[in-house]
Amino acid sequence: MSSAVIELNDHISGLNSTATTRETSQSGVGTETQTPHEFSLPAADTGKDAWLFLAACWLVEALVWGFGFSFGVFQDYYSSHLPFQGAGNIAVVGTTTLGIMYILTPFVIAFSRVRPRWARWFTLSGLVAASLTIALSSLATTAAQLVATQGVLFGIGGCFAYCPSILYIDEWFARRKGMAYGIMWSAAGFGGAILPLLLEALLAAYGFRTALRVWATVLFLLAVPLSYFIRPRLPLPSAGAATSGWRNLNTIKNMRQVISGRRLLLYQFANVVQATGYFLPGVYLPSYARTAFGASAMLAALTVLLVNIAATVSSVVLGSMTDKLPATTCLVLSGVGASVAVLALWGLASTLAGVYAFCVLYGLFAGGYTSIWPGIMRETTASPPRRESEQEGEQIDAYVDPSLVFGWLCAGRGVGNVVSGPLSSLLIHSRPWLGQAIGGYGSGYGSLIVYTGISAVVGGSAFFWRRLGML
């Protein structure tokens, strides 16, 4: 068995404290010598190094995804201030940022597996690139320039900065993997709650050009220290073996087999549908609070802050639950709880206090949905497909990389995020049921509320498919 397989087995279990590498002679054709080397590896799941790694991942998540989820502040400013006032495609900037980070993730992860030595520097280069594009966006004078810089280029840089966290978290955490993912992903909710307040203060005091330059400086100054701690636990392969191990394992081909399998397709279907509805409350709750209850700008913005704060708690709780419970159980809890919150509280709420109660419960149940992904990754890669060795004619297990499953789920969520924009416009276009029903159902947002509740239930449908023997 090659050393790459040994290292990957250590990667999966996180329990071994030694790794074996193969040194290939460059002087002969195909001549190989097996030389074992023992490495003193830092402990997985515990210890200073593991927690410093997780803390650095948390900060990158807050900086990259938290900024993406804070675009509503910029959208409000751009729409009401020159030179962008009256531009019709300002909203595209925010959806472009998140959509690119979601959809690009599986490609960056696959490229990182092919070039693992390059991936070690992706956090540094990604944050530096993101800071430069934000600084460049401060010079924009048209909405198209904002889409290109703050949207497209920041999304690319942010994705490269974020992906090493996903690559290496499997090495640093084994028994407590779900908890680690939950803590890391809680940063997006935290960033989505805190960064809007800070950015809004900067925008009000100094305008968008200075605010963006301050943010670019923060990203640039944090790039080096964060990239130092976001590093692999296992030794990187030698330069000559950087690609051979992954080519021998045929990782991408095996991933195609998993993607085409019924199990992951069902999980992905639920994931995409849940995403098409999940983002709608965050987009429309402030305007709903203003139109339905005459709330001030601060009280209207509080709706989104409550959802994001509750989502921070949800990410940690649901992530920890996936270490002990099947993914389907966690999914149905999230889906049914979120659906009840939407249909019973938002739909029937007749006061602003009732809407706030909905925001808390919705964040608690729906906000941690992605923290259940480690359970899906574990279940879909537990029994890898078998392939036949062309060289030896023997049947061997083909390794399936869990991080590629994560990338596939992330891409699906990106598709749902992109679809949710035009879908929501259709749902509220004619203001259905306005004045003809009680509570939120008669506010003109009724069809949007119903769809959000239904999509949440579909997000947990894997539980029922398992009961029917389809999983």
Mean pLDDT by runs of 10 across the 471 residues of the chain is 41 39 33 45 84 94 88 79 81 83 89 85 95 94 91 94 90 86 87 85 90 95 93 77 48 65 88 92 85 86 88 92 92 96 94 94 94 89 53 49 86 88 84 85 92 95 87 74
CA distance linking residue 11 with residue 18, whole number of Å: 11
Amino acid identity, residue 30? G
Token output for 91: 């909203």
For tokens 């010079």, the residue is: 139
- Could you give the 3-state DSSP secondary structure of residue 396? strand
- Could you give the 3-state DSSP secondary structure of residue 11? helix
Helices (H), strands (E): how many in the chain? 21, 4
Token output for 383: 């029994």
Domains observed in the chain: 3-33 (no CATH), 45-249 (1.20.1250.20), 250-471 (1.20.1250.20)
For residue 32, which phi and psi values (nearest 5 degrees)? -130, 145
**Residue 156 pLDDT:** 95
Model confidence, pTM: 0.77
> Which DSSP string corresponds to 44-67?
SSSSHHHHHHHHHHHHHHHHHHHH
> Which DSSP string corresponds to 349-383?
--SHHHHHHHHHHHHHHHTTGGGGHHHHHHHHHSS
For tokens 């994705």, the residue is: 159
Token output for 325: 């419970």
**Residue 212 pLDDT:** 94
- Could you give the 3-state DSSP secondary structure of residue 37? coil
**Residue 21 pLDDT:** 36
What residues have CB less than 8 Å from 112, skipping those under 6 apart? 118, 119, 122, 163, 164, 167
Torsion angle in degrees (nearest 10) through CA of 425, 426, 427, 429:
80
CA distance linking residue 44 with residue 258, whole number of Å: 27
CA distance linking residue 379 with residue 165, whole number of Å: 21
> Please, what is the Cα angle at 404 between 398 and 410, to 5 degrees?
155
**Residue 284 pLDDT:** 85
**Residue 241 pLDDT:** 53
| Start-to-end Cα distance in the chain | 32
**Residue 399 pLDDT:** 60
For 65, 66, 284, 306, 367, the CA distances from 360, given in Å and listed in that order, are: 21, 19, 16, 6, 10
> Which DSSP string corresponds to 100-162?
HHHHHHHHHHHHHHHSHHHHTTHHHHHHHHHHHHHHHHTT--SHHHHIIIIIIIHHHHHHHHH
Residues in a beta bridge with 387 = 396
Token output for 257: 């087999």
Report whether 268 contacts 377 (CB < 8 A).
Answer: no
